[in-house]
Structures are given as structure tokens and as C-alpha cells.
Structure 1
């Protein structure tokens, strides 16, 4: 079967007029007698549509009027998903091939009217009456337009034979031939050139700003400094920092790092923090492995800085406000607040009125 197919294809190629192209596609075309659709190159070779959109556009153009061309129907027909088909329909709608509008029927139901135009440029120009219906399928060959004018031959006189009388020898006068009517030349209309469809410019989209992959880095807090960096504080801070490697082998600092971290340790010492407390805060729960010991100590000296110790007066209990004691009224025996015993407000008002 494969050998017969190759022979048939070879015969078909030999029947193609002209030399074959050295590379690229070779067309073996046979005229269609039925079941065909005319598709313009502006759709089949559109440089702004995807291959899926071009295929769906050709498929919709080949369907008869009244066929369902929604996303669900096309998804059931083809292997592409709903997202791909919906994107292809939006491309056809953007370039003017597809129009979808909402319409309300007499019973109140809302439906979607889908209109497919095979030449969007003709609709934009106007003056062309579109044919609404299924794709035209003809079984007869298309008529060929003749652009050359047909020359009509000049009329010639046609003599009609007339029988001669047997008894007379004088011939009758010959009748004057009537001229034949000259047929009017049929005007040949030049085919109207169809320009290429004008590409509809797409609306400019706002630039999409993607969120940053990482959170913005916070500015580094400054290292705390004491109010007065005395030589005693400097010496104690330097000794504490240099002694850290005895308690944690990872905390091996250079002289430059020790000089940089001395103000932070001095600020702790100025706030009455003991050397043991500072050492525990700097050496507890070290990460494994520790790549930058100086950065870790700088962070802990800054983030874990304790507040100054409160003074003796700050720790004293606050004095309570004096409370006015209760008194018993001598007249009505009701309780009221006053520093001196006597009568309540109502009893005093009655005595004043009586006086």
C-alpha cells in the first residue's frame, strides 16, 4: 500500500506545470466539486493571530449558520482547553473577525449573538452588502472574467434566393437587403480589488508591575554608644570581646572588629550590665555554621540592649491620694464624706431655711 501511494504521489508531482521549487512546500491542488469553503489569505496568513486563533477562525467560517461556536462547544470538539480557546476567541474579536453581543428575547431570556465576518476590512469600509448564512459551496466551476473587449464583426448583406419565373425572361429587380441589427457589446466590469484588511491597533495595556521577589531590606540600626567612653570602659569592653573565643570557638574576632564593637559593649557596661550577663547574651544559641561572627555580635548588641537601671526613687511605691472619711449625719443618720462630723447637705439646707 505504501509503494502504491508513493507512485501515485510521484505521478501527481510530474503533472504539475513548471519547475518544482528547490525547497519548501509543494502544492498538489485538485479543484473541489463539493464541501469546500473560501478562506481569505488575510485570515490564513494573519501575522497578528496565533495558530490556534487562525484554526478556530477557519473552523467557524466553515460551519453553517446556527451552529454553536461557544467555548463549551469548541472545547468538546477540539483537544485544546477552555483557557486556550477563550484566548483565541478574544484574538479574533480584537481583530474584527468575531463579534459577540448580548440580546434579550421576548420571554426575558438573555442570549449571546455571535457574528463572524470573513472580511473585517470590508465592514470597516462600508458599501459592501454581506451575505449572512452558511459558507458558499458551489458544485459548478466559477465563471472566468474576460477583460479584453470582444470585437463584433461588421454587418454584411445576406441575399435571400428568390425563384425565377419560368415564363418570363426578364429578371425581377433584386430587393434591397435589410441590414442586420448590430448587437451591442456587453460591458465587462473590472473586478473590484479587495484591499488587505486594516489591522485594528490593540489598546495599550498598562504596564504590569510585578511584586518584588524579596522583602525590602530594613536600614541597619546604629550600634549603641555610651554617653562617655572612658578609658576604663574601653579597656573592659576590649577584654570582654577578645575573651569570647574562650567560651565559643566560633567567635574569633579580628582587631578591627573588636575596635568596631567596643562602643556597643561599653554602652552595656554603662547601664550596669555585668560581664557574665553580656557574655551569655552574646554566646547563647549560636547558629551552625556561623559565617559572620562580627555581624552577629553587632546585631545582638543593638537588638538586646537593656534599659538603664532605675534609681532608688523610681522604685519607691507611689503615695496614695488622701481619702475623705465617712461621717454619720446627726439629724438623719445618713453617711456622708467629710473631714468634720456634723449634718449632711440636706439637713444643713433645712436648718438654713428655718433660720
Structure 2
């Protein structure tokens, strides 16, 4: 069996035109006669799409119209999980290969149509005629295949015969209203592509004041790390660069043994860049300053003055007043009696 395979491979390599390259891939292109789909290099070699997104796009392009291509439907057809498929669909939507268009049916019901375009850049360049071409149904789906060049002597298509006296002229077919009502807009990336520049890393923390005591303690702690983890053997240059970060920890009342434990626990194997790892941990795990004693004290609750109850000297009715006396009604009645007597 191995001899037959090697012989077939040798025969196929001998039929490859031109000298074979000494390195890299060698293509053995066997033309398909049925069940194939033409995939453009703009998709197969897209610099900003992940391989998962390219594979999902090829799978969608090979399916017939009307097939459900939601996340759960694709997860049932593919080995990738729903999260990877959802991320791939977002990539395709960001670069214009996949679009979701809302349309109203004659019955008044509003539906969402999922549209896949095999050449989104050509759709934008071609203007209003491209949507009509996109709406034409594909009769037979097929798996992916790189397009083969057409022969130089391809016969020209025969012109359509003019309508005779017995053949009435057909009325023009109006374009489908779906894409005419919703022209394809220029795509706007919804998520950053994988090749987008990453934000710069956070700077190494520094103390408010690098005193000689802090500098000496931080230098000793970094130089002593190799006793606890041989992978953390640092050069003198690395120690001087990391001293401000350790000093910031010590300034915030972090104990040296706690700092050492955080820097030496769960080290990766192999550890290629110990100084970069220590810089990341000193920056990402920096604790906040300890609060002062006044910050931990609960605020004093405001005192509420309560007016005591008094008993009226005339009617013995209870009322609130800071001093004994008469209630309001008795005071008003006594004032009226004095006025009447005058």
C-alpha cells in the first residue's frame, strides 16, 4: 500500500509544471468536475481574518440558499464551539462578508435576512447593480476549490434570437425589492481585528520618594530571589530597573516575605524572561495604600434634639415645649380674655 501511494505521488509530482521548489508548499492541483465552490484569494488569504472565520465563510458559501446559518445551526455542522463560531461570524460581519438586513413581508411581518456576499469589495464598487447580481440564486452548492483558468479558446455564447412575430416580447423583470431598499453600506468594523495594535503596557509603579532605605531593601529583596527560585536569577541591570516597583510595594506597607511569595509563586516552565514576568506582577498586583486610622473610624452620627412633653397649667393637656407653661389653645384664649376686658 505504501509503494502504491509513493508511486502515485511521484507521478503527480512529475506532472507539476516547472522546477519543484526546494522549500515551501508544492501544489498538486487536480481539477474538480462536480461538487466544488469557487473561493477568492481575498477570503482565503485575508490578512485580518482568523483561520476559523475563513473556514466558517467557506462552509457558509458552500451551503445552498435557505439553509440556516445561525450559531447553533453551524455548531451542529462544525466541530468548533458556539463561542468560536460567534466570534467568527462577528469577524465576517465586520469585514462585509456577512450582513443582516431587516425586511417587511407583504403580510406586514418584519423578518431579518442573513446575507453572505462572496466579494464585499466588488459589491461596494459595482454600485446599485451588484445587489441584483447578489440576489440571483445559486442552483448547486459545492465544496471549496481554487478557480482554474479558463481555456484561451473558450467559445463565445450564442446571441439570443430576436422575438419573432409569433413570439411575444417578455416584459422586463423588476429587480428584487429586498436589496434595492437596503443598499449595501460600507462595512464598519465592530470589533478590532486580531492584528490591531495592542495598547502599550502599564508603566512600572514608583514610590512617592525613593529613600536610601527603600532602595537598599528593594535591592536586597530582588537579589535574594534566586535563593527561593533559581529561575529568577536577575542581572544587575534588571535589578536596578525593578527596584522602583518593589520600593512602591514596600512603601505601601507590604511585608518583604509577602512580596517575595507573590513574585516566586506559580512560575511558568520554562521561564524565558524573568525580568518581564516580575515587572508584570509588580505592576498588575500592586496593592492600594493602607488607609489611615481616621479613615477606619465610623463617622459620628449627628445628635437629634428632642423637645420634651409638658403639661398645660390650665387644661392639663400634654404638649411639647422646652419649658413648662400653657398650651397654644390656652394661651390664645387667655389673650382674647385680656383683650375683651380692656
| TM-score w.r.t. length of structure 1 | 0.43
Higher normalized contact order (CA 8 Å, seq sep 6+, divided by chain length): 2
Structure with greater helix share of residues = 2
TM-score, normalising length: structure 2: 0.45
Question: Larger Cα Rg: Structure 1 or Structure 2?
Answer: 1
